[in-house]
Amino acid sequence: MPERLPSRAALLELKRERGVIELGYRFLDDKRIALAQALIRGLQEHGVQLDRFRAAQWRAGQALAAAVEVHGLEGLQLYPPSTVDWALEWRAKPFLGLPLIQPAALRGQRVSAAALACLPSAAAERCAEAFAELCRVAVPLAALQANLRRLAAEFRRTQRRARALEHVILPQAHAEQRQMEALLEELEQEEVTRGRLFATAPLARNDGAV
C-alpha cells in the first residue's frame, strides 16, 4: 500500500515527482555519455603522448649510455649540472564541473655548465639536453593522466547514480503511481456502485409501500 492517501491530488503529485526523477535520469544519462566520449578522446590522446614520452625516454637512455661511455659513471655524476630557468604553464578548463588541466607545458631553456667541467664533452651535453626534453614531454602526459583519473572517477559516480535511478527509484515511482491509479479506480467504481444503489433505493421503498 502507498504511504499517501489515494486522491487525485496525490496522484498528480506522484506524476510530478516521477517527471522530476525522469528529468534527473536524462541529465545523468547525457552526462555519462559526455564523460565517456571525453574519456575516449583522452585515451586516444594519451596513446599519442605516451608514444612521444617513450621515444624521448629511449633517446635519454641512449644519451646516458653514451655519456657514461665517455666519462664513466662516477665521472658523469661529478659533471656540473645545467642551470634551468623553467616555468610550468597550465590553466584549468572546466568540463561538466571538473577542473581539467588544458594545456600544460614546461617553458624555458637549459643553460649549459660545460665551461665549469674539467672534461667537457658533447656526449654529456647531449645527455643533459635529452633529459631536459624528457621533462618537457612528461609534463603534458602527467596533466593528461590527471585529467583521465578525474574523468574516470566522475564517470563511475555518474554511472552509479544513473543506474540507481534507472533500476531502483524510477521503477518504485512507476509502481507507486500504478498502485495509486488502481486504488483510485476501485474507489471510483465503489462510488458509482453506491450511487446506483442510492438511485434505486427510493424505487424499492415505493414498491414496498404499494
- Residue type, position 61, single letter: G
pLDDT value for 207: 54
pLDDT digits (tens, 9 = 90+) for 71-126: 999 988 888 888 888 888 989 999 999 999 988 898 888 888 888 888 899 999 99
SS3 of residue 52 by DSSP:
helix
pLDDT digits (tens, 9 = 90+) for 4-16: 777 888 888 888 9
Residue 200 lies in a domain: no
Residue 45 lies in a domain: yes
3 — pLDDT class (breaks 50, 70, 90): low
User: The cell 614531454 sits on which residue?
Assistant: 137
pLDDT value for 210: 45
pLDDT digits (tens, 9 = 90+) for 116-165: 888 899 999 999 999 999 999 999 999 999 999 999 999 999 999 999 99
pLDDT value for 85: 83
Q: Give the CATH number for residue 99.
A: 1.10.287.3240
Residue 51 lies in a domain: yes
User: What is the DSSP annotation of 122-175?
Assistant: HHHHHHHHHHHHHHHHHHHHHHHHHHHHHHHHHHHHHHHHHHHIIIIIHHHHHH
User: The cell 597550465 sits on which residue?
Assistant: 90
Residue 114 lies in a domain: yes
SS3 of residue 198 by DSSP:
helix
What is the rounded CA–CA span in Å between residue 139 and residue 158? Answer: 29
190 — pLDDT class (breaks 50, 70, 90): confident
Residue 210 lies in a domain: no
Residue 126 lies in a domain: yes
pLDDT digits (tens, 9 = 90+) for 47-77: 999 999 999 999 999 999 999 999 999 988 8
Neighbour count for residue 183 (Cβ, 10 Å): 17
Output DSSP code: residue 82.
P
Neighbour count for residue 97 (Cβ, 10 Å): 7
Does residue 185 register a pLDDT over 90?
Answer: no
Neighbour count for residue 98 (Cβ, 10 Å): 15
Hey, CA dihedral for 141, 146, 151, 157, is it positive or negative? Answer: positive
pLDDT value for 4: 73
Cell digits of residue 28: 545523468
DSSP H stretches of helix in 78-110:
none
DSSP H stretches of helix in the chain:
8-77, 122-164, 170-209
Q: How many domains does the chain have?
A: 1
Residue 113 lies in a domain: yes
Q: Which domain holds residue 66?
A: 8-189
